[in-house]
Amino acid sequence: MAHSELKQSMGVWLDQQVATAPIGDDHPAETIIAWWLGFKRRLTANIKRPNHEAETRRRRPSATVQQLQTAAQEAAAALDAAPHDPGRLTAAVEAQVAVSGAMRADAKSDDLAARRSRISEGERPSRGHTALVHEANGGGDGGGPAPTTLKDSTSGQLVSDPDRVPQIIANYWRDVSALPTETELPMATKQATLAEVMAALRPHPLRLPADPEGDQLGSPEVSSAEVAKALRATPRG
């Protein structure tokens, strides 16, 4: 049974309180009522300590989770040192997935116990709680937990800050939505290529020399002077 020593200590305290209760016909009703009111206040104050301790234990990661978290931190640090290494990126992602799986496994027993407790108390089913229990049992769509670490495309770094992860997801789908359709793709490719060429030419603004014969290139009419010039440039034989 979970937290058995906390329950045992609470039982000992209750036995001590009951032993001091004014029980019997020789105690007036006012004395019994006064003791009862004081007992309820003491019970409320005393029960907070084991509840707080139980909650702290429940939130404390297991040894397996702590070990996997350490491995995930080491993998993330290795990726930061070489952010373009595919092997290190794969190792960092797999380490984070292992952490998420271990955390879900630890939470499974707590979710099921909470569900049984709610049912025994006559609680009406909760969709949110049912989803948690169903997911803990291996149900659901199989998608697993939401991502806790993502790679920022602008910096190439892994980000685990909960305040920044949603923005990375939003930026990714923004870029996907901005991609051209199949109809727009040829023109978009042409424009992208033109922009790339122009960007490469801007640092080197060289002007070509003037060619007086440039206007005549491609003309279907050929003059006798052009023919004579071409013959003189032709090798003999």
User: Would you state the pLDDT for residue 115?
Assistant: 64
Give the total number of structural domains in the chain: 3
In a domain, 185, yes or no: yes
pLDDT score recorded for residue 175: 82
Q: pLDDT tens across 26-43, in order?
A: 888 888 888 888 899 899
Look at residue 8 and tell me whether its pLDDT is greater than 50: yes
Instruction: Give the domain extent around 184.
Output: 161-192
Q: Quick one: tokens of 150?
A: 């993502």
Q: Is 229 a member of any domain?
A: no
DSSP output for 4-64: HHHHHHHHHHHHHHHHTS--STTS-HHHHHHHHHHHHHHHHHHHHHHHHHHHHHHHSPPHH
Q: Answer yes or no: is pLDDT of 169 > 80.
A: yes
Write down the pTM of the prediction.
0.33
Per-residue pLDDT at 174: 85
* Same domain (yes/no): 41, 91: no
Q: Are residues 170 and 135 in the same domain?
A: no
In a domain, 54, yes or no: yes
The number of angstroms, rounded, from the C-alpha of 37 to the middle of its chain's C-alpha atoms is 50
Same domain, 81 and 104: yes
Verify that 70 and 127 share a domain, yes or no.
yes
pLDDT at 100 over 70: yes
Query: Do both 82 and 134 map to the same domain?
Result: yes
> pLDDT tens digit string along 43-81?
988 888 888 888 787 777 788 888 898 999 998 888 888
- Residues 93 and 127 placed together within one structural domain of the fold: yes
Shared domain check, 17 and 71? no
Count of CB atoms situated within 10 Å of the CB of 202: 8
AA identity, residue 156 = G
Q: How many residues are present in the chain? A: 237
* Residue 99 located in a structural domain: yes
Q: 158 by DSSP, 3-state: which?
A: strand
pLDDT at 101: 84
| 237, part of any domain | no
Same domain for 67 and 143 = yes
Please tell me the distance from the alpha carbon of residue 111 to that of residue 103, in angstroms, as a whole number. 12
Structural domain contains residue 217: no
Q: Select from 140, 145, 148, 187 the least CA-distant residue to 164.
A: 148
**Percent over 70 (pLDDT), the chain:** 73
* Average pLDDT of every residue of the chain: 77
Q: Is the pLDDT of residue 183 over 80?
A: no
Is there a domain that residue 135 lies in? yes
Distance linking the first and last C-alpha atoms of the chain: 109
119 and 179 belong to one structural domain: no
pLDDT in tens, 111-161: 666 666 666 656 566 666 666 666 555 554 444 455 677 888 888 888 888
